[in-house]
Amino acid sequence: MKITLIGGGKLGKQLYSAFTAQTELKLVQWVVRSAEKTKTSEGIPLSNEIKELYPTDLFLIAVSDQAIPSVAGALPMEAFVVHTAGGVAIEALNQNRAGVLYPLQTFSEGRKINFSKLPIGLECKKASDLPLLEKLVKKLGATSFHMNSQQREQLHLAAVLVNNFTNHLFVEAAAICAQNNLPFELLKPLIKETVDKLQDLSPKASQTGPAVRNDHKTIEKHLELIQEHRLQEIYKVLTSAIQNK
Amino acid sequence: MKITLIGGGKLGKQLYSAFTAQTELKLVQWVVRSAEKTKTSEGIPLSNEIKELYPTDLFLIAVSDQAIPSVAGALPMEAFVVHTAGGVAIEALNQNRAGVLYPLQTFSEGRKINFSKLPIGLECKKASDLPLLEKLVKKLGATSFHMNSQQREQLHLAAVLVNNFTNHLFVEAAAICAQNNLPFELLKPLIKETVDKLQDLSPKASQTGPAVRNDHKTIEKHLELIQEHRLQEIYKVLTSAIQNK
């Protein structure tokens, strides 16, 4: 299977590493905006112009959401074109052979992702294109599942909750620690257990703390402790949500 | 060291297991409200009346926050009395020899806690009582740190953020999955990476997603997708907090 990868951002770099770390998929070309800035393994042509295209089975687009339509628009209409975004409609790709390959993961600079067992959602305009994507996912060591556009939108929303919003709570907690001369490290075993619990218990069964036990005294005390209006709002909204589940 | 443990709830049971799993601390008595309901190892007298007290070096109280003052009030004034609550003032204990031993962890039924390396915060009215608590923590394999009352309050608040509120986001995400015929399992590698990232990056550096990249299109789409008012509020408040950090 010959693959052309387009995009040199956080996901593009991780896919590049994953593709070049194995031998059964052939990355024929990597197209990035700033070709000179990105290192490549020997033998994989790097282009900074989307017009010089090598023969390929699949164009995999890992660029920002808003750039997807124009990148796809520059590719041949008969090509198989696949984007990797959770929140972009498959219709953003004009090709008849179009697909989405959505890795349910968060990608940061300086953090290497292990694709092994990673769930990757697949969606194709033509069902006959799914086997090729399934094969690609398998070669990465990841796990594929089928989804429709609505399921993908909802998964993307759920991913924002469990990753982006959870991480923001860590940001707020780290600030509280810093303001009180306490190392954030102290909270890490608790954070780890919050996640490890999910092995044995549903999130609902895992819930503990002042909100779920209706401990108004502690809730009021915490609201007094919080100086910042925005954190007070977060505290109130989440406490109320826990109490009403 | 002789210890009397008071409380048969979630933390009480975990402490009971931890104490009886080792041989260097002697649990002389376990006082619980419903003595008949709780199994004990051979040789540890279980009392359901706080009046029959055995000679001990330390009373460790693991009862609900509101019960702490009355339980402590029933103990001898000359005893060393220690509670385990993050959010209860040390003054709730009338004894001169009073302390707090606060394990920074979440405790649920059906989930065995590993005390090894767990950070346990210590506070004592008399500094001369700290070494005894430090020794106790060490025998459990946990790690002690010193805190004052203000630091403990703030740590308790931070613990609510990183555990209770994070877990509620998991509850919301699990509901979204269920409503869309998607297994919650799909989100677990993402949840795991959200936490694993903290090994390499600060929470602030880890932040990704539509809020931090000011992707209004996706934010508006998500708000349209959400049917429930309360989840909309959570989405708005956390998105705005991320954007303003």
Query: Percent of chain B at pLDDT above 90?
Result: 84
Q: Which residues of B touch A190 (CB under 8 A)?
A: 104-106, 159, 162-163
Gap from B9 CA to chain A (nearest CA, Å): 13
- Tell me if B193 and A145 make a contact (CB, 8 A cut-off): no
pLDDT given for residue B41 in this prediction: 67
Tokens at B23, concatenated: 């041989």
pLDDT given for residue B49 in this prediction: 73
Tokens at B210, concatenated: 């539509």
Q: Is the dihedral of CA B38, B42, B48, B54 positive or negative?
A: negative
A172 or A109, which is more confident: A172
pLDDT digits (tens, 9 = 90+) for A128-158: 999 999 999 999 999 999 999 999 999 999 9
Q: Which residues of A touch B194 (CB under 8 A)?
A: 106, 162-163, 166-167, 195
CB within 8 A of A226, min separation 6: which ones? A232, A235, B157
- Is residue B117 over pLDDT 80? yes
User: Is residue A142 within 8 Å of residue A115, measured between CB atoms?
Assistant: yes
Gap from A90 CA to chain B (nearest CA, Å): 15
Give rounded-to-5 percent helix, strand, coil for chain A: 45, 15, 40
User: Is residue B149 within 8 Å of residue B126, measured between CB atoms?
Assistant: no
Crossing angle of helices B216-225 and A149-159, rounded to 10°: 110
What is the complex's ipTM, to 2 decimals?
A: 0.94
Q: Measured at the alpha carbon of residue B225, what is the angle toward residues B236 and A145, in degrees to the nearest 5? A: 115
Q: Tokens 């790097």 correspond to what residue?
A: A46
| B186: DSSP letter | G
Q: What average pLDDT score do residues A98-122 get?
A: 92
What CATH architecture does domain A2-147 belong to?
3-Layer(aba) Sandwich (3.40)
What CATH architecture does domain A153-243 belong to?
Orthogonal Bundle (1.10)
Domain ranges in chain A? 2-147, 153-243
Tokens at A130, concatenated: 């799914």
- Is residue B109 over pLDDT 90? no
Q: Which residues of B touch A176 (CB under 8 A)?
A: 154-155, 157-158, 161
Residues forming a β-bridge with A58? A3
pLDDT digits (tens, 9 = 90+) for B36-52: 666 666 677 888 777 78
Residues forming a β-bridge with B29? B4
Q: What average pLDDT score do residues A13-19 get?
A: 93
- A212 inside 8 A of chain B by CB: yes
